[in-house]
Chain A
Amino acid sequence: MGAQRMQRTLLSLVLRLLLLCTVATGKCSGKYHELLLQLQRQADLMQDPSTLLDPYIHLQGLHSPVLQEHCRERPGDFPSEDALWRLSRQDFLQTLNTTLGLILRMLSALQQDLPEAAHQQAEMNVRGFGNNIHCMAQLLRGSSDPKAAEPTQPGPGPTPLPPTPPSSTFQRKLRNCGFLRGYHRFMRTAGQVLRGWGERQGRSRRHSPCRALKRGARRTQPFPEIRRLAPRGQPPGSLWGAPAR
């Protein structure tokens, strides 16, 4: 019964995230800088280990330094920093979108292993971050190509799955711990990339903010790289490489 409910929740969450655009009802902020700042701060907020990792460690009794040593992000769980920096804006947003889906699934699986408040807040934060990604993608599309203002669909690129639960409970705890550590690292990196957007935009703005935005938007067609990536068959390792240490 519980498993069915969890599956249902998981399904609804994933669908909700994947169909962000199709169910969009509210109005996104039309201000690029405001939205970018929100994304940056959200990333700052979510990279804070006290929001998720620390409660998990506390609840699961993984305090000891020895165990902490084993609580490491596993390569391949999240895109590496280098890979994120290499992505175009649309691809970056698409990658964020996809990774958020993965995180939501993982959070759903960790529902029983986290304090309720922390879990609920983390889930809402992820969903909120997805909302802002959607708005940013919409803004970028709208600024360049009206045709591109189609619902954003997840690219066919590498979509990592949550780690398969190890057989041992202890191993599973360490695995989840490592995943959460990776999550915070990923959000930190995402925040840095987003700050990089602001800097580039700032430089561009010296000339013409509107033009620069449009130029950037032209450069970042809605997830064209993702579309291109798939046929090329770029190995996942290029995007989901080893995490930065």
Chain B
Amino acid sequence: MPTQILQIAFIQKYLCKMFTLQTWIVQALFIFLTTESIGELIVPCAHIHPESSVVQLGSNFTAVCVLKEKCMDDYHVTANDIFWKTGRVPVPYEQYSVINRTASSVTFPNITLINALLTCNIRMFGQINRSVYGIRIISGLPPEKPKNLSCIVNEGKKMMCQWDPGRETYLETNYTLKSEWATEKFDDCKAKRDTPTSCTVDYPPVYFVNIEVWVEAENALGKVTSDHINFDPVDKVKLNPPHILSVNSSKELSSILKLTWTDSRFKSFITLKYDIQYRTKDASTWNQVPPEDTSSTRSSFTVQDLKPFTEYVFRIRCMKEDGKGYWSDWSEEASGITYEDRPSKAPNFWYKIEPSHAHGTRSIQLKWKTLPPFEANGKILDYEVTLTKWKSHSQNYTVKDTKLTVNLTNDRYVATLTARNLVGKSDASVLTIPAWDFQATHPITDLKAFPKDNVLWVEWTAPNESVNRYILEWCVLSDKSPCIPDWQQEDGTVHRTYLRAPSRGPTVRTKKVGKNEAVLEWDHLPIDVQNGFIRNYTIFYRTVIGNEIAVNVDSSHTEYTLSSLTSDTLYMVRMAAYTDEGGKDGPEFTFTTPKFAQGEIEAIVVPVCLAFLLTTLLGVLFCFNKRDLIKKHIWPNVPDPSKSHIAQWSPHTPPRHFNSKDQMYPDGNFTDVSVVEIEANDKKPFPEDLKSLDLFKKEKVNTEGHSSGIGGSSCMSSSRPSISSSDENESAQNTSSTVQYSTVVHSGYRHQVPSVQVFSRSESTQPLLDSEERPEDLQLVDNVDGSDGILPRQRYFKQNCSQHETSPDISHFERSQQVSSVNEEDFVRLKQQQISDHISQPYGSGKMKMFQEVPAVDAFGPGIEGQVERFETVGMEDAVDEGMPKSYLPQTVRRGGYMPQ
């Protein structure tokens, strides 16, 4: 059988193949025939010679159109009917030439730049024009011989050669770089379209081996080769720039800085030379170390003749010592500060006598000018002032400020002043303070001032005696500002000078303040206040508690960035402008650095917010997923009392209500057991009633945990009726906490007058709740009432949380059904037996504690639902018959709980 199937499959497959083959053949035939017919259709009527034409610019170009005989016959045309077009523009007839009956030519003399379609057209009968053939004419130039071929080998990379391709060819021109050793050829390097003038070979450079390189340029009009160049790639190398390792100063020499670097490993094989440049930090022009000093391979160099305590910036590059090849790129800049030197000049020194009230003394204010940086040669730590009275001890003062006020006697004093930095002291500046009664006998005369060349000149006539030095004092006379005296010192030989110090310093302000830096800016001083050439500015800045830091800035700058500032700090900054003769401070400016950099707060806040949102979202998701658990522990399901079965427990309660149990306890588990305590008026036993109440007996079901909340309400307040036949302890415990919630007005049954008031009771502090209702139990009660007609009855609703021992896995609903479905006779027989066992148990406080609960499963067999319905129907009928007021259900249900009636 399988063989037959295989054979059939094979035959089918074969037939399919055959069919496919046939289809192919038919298709191919069709295509062939179609192609033939189409081919006949598209056979051109003419041909143009040459077929394709790239024409050299400036040359003459002639094309010939030859008509085919068949066409001529078909269309009745000859060569005379031919006309030419370039694009859509007809070519003038003057350029035509009819060669014979079938051929016509066109000539383009001195052809210009063109890239167009040249078509041969015929004019047929009826002035109908038709294109019969066309060619594309492109004009251009042959490539020129590439010139200036040069190659470069960037260290660590492959060799790149470039050339000058010469004139524009207007044609697609290919440039090929060819290279070879004496012993082998390398692969061609074809220049890319976008970079036709250079090409990078794809093999690594081999140093110390001569290579021959040339370029071939080729296009449709020709091919040309450049001159060959032969070189050692090491002679075309561009080394990697050196890397500056350090710039070190020397304590011994404040004028030198030693530069150390690392550079290419080529220095092991070839000699290098270097180019070192340096400048002061604020300068823009570079100084050059003499090349002859750096013409050999080395890794360090000491630059001399530098200014003390000045920051210099260095850069370096290298190349082969023989000059073949290329300079490397400049290294990254590196800076260093020369060491301090002692101040090179004594500060200018002067004094002012201030009025004093004390007799025999006078107050002298000594004042001096700060040294400009190029004279201070370091940070001035303090000034030392010495006052010496004639033939007396000297008084020494160390001052950080630029003035000192002392009380002196009226005697003559000699004051000396030195500025001190880390390295040493300046020369002393000496000043004589004459005695109080000294009279200048040879004052200068003819003092006059005049403006000239935008500065204020002062001229005087010198006294006849020799003069050590002059002091000029002045102030700006202005209605807006008081006269603040300024002064300057002049040599004793001059008798004319101009006020050189700037009359005011630059006003600095902040352009941008960051967390750790501040950009300062200022305006150039106007010419009329410069009083000379501004050599440099000095920026002084300090915090409230910190030392003042001075930074020198080139006079060409108007902006400077203070770095390494502390965040959230108040800074005071001022600027001084210096000429050769001195400086002048500008006003002080304060600014506070922010605590956070720009965007830093956002960088902190945004992630925190996102994290918070994420946490919240996760929390919500978690709560949503665990809502049942959370609800159980935090806010258990508090049933609406208004929907309590007690509230609806009336003869009018529709039977369907009783079937809602499985909705309330879908899992078939109960939280507790309620006991119905029926309060009786009298305490006598009711054997008959008890018998009838056997039908109330029901199983005690298992509880599955307790709902938390108000007093474990769900456990204790469940009003599911149960036969109150639990053991003594349990009963006592339960009854001790029983709270009466409602009174059930027992109106009797079937026209019987109730003799007792019936209360609904619960041990819980929670009101009787809907979810705790057990409609089926009530149904049972109802049914029992209806069936037995035993009245009056004493009823108690009692809760019992104890789990059932025997049937933990059977739902209450099932059990109830089982209970309810048992026939009356069985009930009666069983109850009589059970009650006889438990009837002797004591009753408490007028309540009957009875009907020990019996597991329904144990007690009864499988129930019959139909009987349940029958019981319910009976109850309903009773309710309808008797009317509501007769009901034993609570009559008033208030929101929040049942109130005793």
**Chain B 207-248 interface 0/1 with A at a Cβ cutoff of 8 Å (1 = within):** 111111000000000000000001010100000000000000
Pick from A21, A27, A42: contact of B230, CB under 8 Å: A27
CA distance A23 to B265 in the complex (A): 34
Interface assignment of A182: CB less than 8 Å from any CB of chain B: no
CA distance A37 to B210 in the complex (A): 12
CA distance A25 to B228 in the complex (A): 13
Interface assignment of A26: CB less than 8 Å from any CB of chain B: yes
Pick from A24, A28, A45: contact of B210, CB under 8 Å: A28
Known: A16-B184, A28-B210. 20 other contacts (CB 8 A): A20-B183, A25-B182, A26-B181, A26-B182, A26-B183, A26-B230, A28-B182, A37-B208, A38-B209, A41-B269, A42-B208, A44-B269, A50-B265, A121-B204, A127-B183, A127-B206, A128-B181, A130-B183, A131-B183, A134-B183
Pick from A20, A21, A45, A117: contact of B208, CB under 8 Å: A45
Sample of 18 A–B contacts (CB below 8 Å): A20-B183, A24-B183, A25-B185, A26-B180, A26-B182, A27-B212, A28-B182, A28-B210, A38-B209, A39-B208, A41-B269, A41-B270, A42-B208, A45-B207, A117-B204, A120-B203, A127-B206, A128-B208
The answer to whether A127 and B184 touch across the interface, beta carbons within 8 angstroms, is yes
B515 CB, min distance to chain A CBs, angstroms:
44
Task: Across the interface, name the chain B residue whose C-beta is closest to A123.
Answer: B204
Give the 10 A-B residue pairs with the shortest CB-CB distance, closest first: A128-B206, A128-B209, A38-B208, A26-B182, A20-B183, A131-B183, A28-B182, A42-B208, A26-B212, A26-B180
Residues of B within 8 A of A28 (CB): 182, 210
The answer to whether B268 and A44 touch across the interface, beta carbons within 8 angstroms, is yes
Residues of A within 8 A of B203 (CB): 120, 124
Q: Which of A1-49 contact B (CB under 8 A)?
A: 16, 20-21, 23-29, 37-39, 41-42, 44-45, 48
Q: Which of B183, B204, B234, B270 has the largest count of A CB atoms less than 10 A from its CB? A: B183
CA distance A66 to B208 in the complex (A): 37
CA distance A38 to B61 in the complex (A): 56
A67 CB, min distance to chain B CBs, angstroms:
26
The answer to whether A25 and B180 touch across the interface, beta carbons within 8 angstroms, is yes
Interface assignment of A153: CB less than 8 Å from any CB of chain B: no
A55 CB, min distance to chain B CBs, angstroms:
14
The answer to whether B210 and A29 touch across the interface, beta carbons within 8 angstroms, is yes
CA distance A29 to B183 in the complex (A): 12
User: How many residues on B have C-beta within 8 angstroms of the other chain's C-beta atoms?
Assistant: 22
Task: Across the interface, name the chain B residue whose C-beta is closest to A37.
Answer: B208
CA distance A216 to B230 in the complex (A): 27
Interface assignment of A132: CB less than 8 Å from any CB of chain B: yes
Residues of B within 8 A of A127 (CB): 181, 183-184, 206
A211 CB, min distance to chain B CBs, angstroms:
26
Q: Which of B184, B204, B211, B232 has the largest count of A CB atoms less than 10 A from its CB? A: B184
CA distance A21 to B181 in the complex (A): 11
Residues of A within 8 A of B183 (CB): 16, 20-21, 23-26, 127, 130-131, 134
Residues of B within 8 A of A45 (CB): 207-208, 269
Interface assignment of A135: CB less than 8 Å from any CB of chain B: yes
A contact residues vs B (CB 8 Å cutoff): 16, 20-21, 23-29, 37-39, 41-42, 44-45, 48, 50, 117, 120-121, 124-125, 127-132, 134-135
Residues of A within 8 A of B234 (CB): 41
Residues of A within 8 A of B180 (CB): 25-26
CA distance A6 to B680 in the complex (A): 111
The answer to whether B208 and A23 touch across the interface, beta carbons within 8 angstroms, is no
Q: Which of A39, A121, A132 has the largest count of B CB atoms less than 10 A from its CB? A: A132
Residues of A within 8 A of B181 (CB): 26, 127-128, 131
Task: Across the interface, name the chain A residue whose C-beta is closest to B211.
Answer: A26
Q: Which of B207, B210, B265 has the largest count of A CB atoms less than 10 A from its CB? A: B210
CA distance A222 to B758 in the complex (A): 137
B183 CB, min distance to chain A CBs, angstroms:
4
Known: A27-B212, A42-B209, A128-B209. A120 touches B182 (CB 8 A): no
CA distance A50 to B266 in the complex (A): 13
CA distance A16 to B270 in the complex (A): 29
Pick from B182, B206, B230: contact of A134, CB under 8 Å: B182
Task: Across the interface, name the chain A residue whose C-beta is closest to B213.
Answer: A26
Residues of A within 8 A of B209 (CB): 38, 42, 128-129, 131-132
Pick from A24, A25, A41, A120: contact of B207, CB under 8 Å: A41
Task: Across the interface, name the chain A residue whose C-beta is closest to B209.
Answer: A128
CA distance A125 to B203 in the complex (A): 11
B352 CB, min distance to chain A CBs, angstroms:
74
The answer to whether A124 and B204 touch across the interface, beta carbons within 8 angstroms, is yes
Residues of B within 8 A of A132 (CB): 208-209
The answer to whether A124 and B206 touch across the interface, beta carbons within 8 angstroms, is yes
Residues of A within 8 A of B185 (CB): 25
CA distance A119 to B649 in the complex (A): 98
The answer to whether B204 and A120 touch across the interface, beta carbons within 8 angstroms, is yes
Q: Which of A21, A27, A48 has the largest count of B CB atoms less than 10 A from its CB? A: A27
A10 CB, min distance to chain B CBs, angstroms:
16
A121 CB, min distance to chain B CBs, angstroms:
5
Task: Across the interface, name the chain A residue whose C-beta is closest to B207.
Answer: A45
Q: Which of B153-197 contact A (CB under 8 A)?
A: 180-185
The answer to whether A38 and B232 touch across the interface, beta carbons within 8 angstroms, is yes
CA distance A124 to B201 in the complex (A): 13
Task: Across the interface, name the chain B residue whose C-beta is closest to A38.
Answer: B208
Residues of B within 8 A of A38 (CB): 208-210, 232
B668 CB, min distance to chain A CBs, angstroms:
69
A26 CB, min distance to chain B CBs, angstroms:
4
Residues of B within 8 A of A134 (CB): 182-183
Residues of B within 8 A of A124 (CB): 203-204, 206
Residues of B within 8 A of A121 (CB): 204
The answer to whether A24 and B182 touch across the interface, beta carbons within 8 angstroms, is yes
CA distance A20 to B204 in the complex (A): 20
B210 CB, min distance to chain A CBs, angstroms:
5
Task: Across the interface, name the chain B residue whose C-beta is closest to A135.
Answer: B182
CA distance A45 to B230 in the complex (A): 21
Task: Across the interface, name the chain A residue whose C-beta is closest to B185.
Answer: A25
Pick from A20, A117, A125: contact of B206, CB under 8 Å: A125
CA distance A120 to B206 in the complex (A): 11
Residues of A within 8 A of B269 (CB): 41, 44-45
CA distance A24 to B232 in the complex (A): 17
The answer to whether B182 and A48 touch across the interface, beta carbons within 8 angstroms, is no
CA distance A20 to B183 in the complex (A): 5
The answer to whether A27 and B182 touch across the interface, beta carbons within 8 angstroms, is yes
Task: Across the interface, name the chain B residue whose C-beta is closest to A28.
Answer: B182
Task: Across the interface, name the chain A residue whose C-beta is closest to B230.
Answer: A27
Q: Which of B517-545 contact A (CB under 8 A)?
A: none
Task: Across the interface, name the chain B residue whose C-beta is closest to A17.
Answer: B183
CA distance A128 to B210 in the complex (A): 9
Residues of A within 8 A of B211 (CB): 26
Task: Across the interface, name the chain B residue whose C-beta is closest to A45.
Answer: B269
CA distance A15 to B853 in the complex (A): 109
